[in-house]
Amino acid sequence: MTIPDLRTGLGWDTHILTAGRPLILGGVHIPSELGLDGHSDADVLSHAITDALLGAAAQGDIGMHFPDTDPAWKGADSRQLLHHAVQIVRVAGFQIANVDSTVILERPKLKDYRLAIRESLSATLGIELARVSVKFKTHEKVGPVGEGRSAEAQAIALLIRR
């Protein structure tokens, strides 16, 4: 029996919430008093998915491909990073079966933006909407995320040999 060549990858990221920065998740600008701080646009969800894809293909991690010391990535649109990871996956001989993810953020409520975020990710990943899932959780008011000082994202990706 031949074993199908499937690969899973796990991604995680965190960024600090601060005033005067935009809140961008999966490439979608979310109205919010606080935004995410970082070298790039600090899109914590896109970064987690980027690492999930790179991990599944055993192609290192986001910092290896896009060092945060490199001025080229200052203020970068993280969809560029994600798209680059998609190309790395393709060159390695895989296609993306699905991506699931969770954003952990105390506020604002994100559920009204779920479809917009999924559509944005679907376009960047080059896969159909039904293969892209985004979930949201609070941190129940405890810890840095719960106190509204930071946000986290988790992602998992499944790749299939083309």
Alpha helices in 2-156 (DSSP H): 44-56, 62-65, 78-91, 114-125, 143-146
Residues 63, 115: Cα–Cα separation, whole Å: 29
The answer to whether 106 and 144 are in contact (CB under 8 A) is no
Contacting Mg ion within 23-52 (CB under 5 A): 47
> How distant, in Å, are the alpha carbons of 56, 116, 127, 128, 136 from that of 121?
18, 9, 9, 10, 15
13 binds Mg ion (CB under 5 A): yes
Q: Which is nearer to Mg ion, 13 or 106 (CB)?
A: 13
The only residue of 136, 144, 146, 148 in contact with ligand C5P, by rule CB under 6 A: 136
Per-residue binding string, ligand C5P, 59-98, x by CB under 6 A, is ----------------------------------------
110 binds ligand C5P (CB under 6 A): yes
CB of 13 to ligand C5P, least distance (A): 16
Q: Which residues bind Mg ion (CB under 5 A)?
A: 13, 47
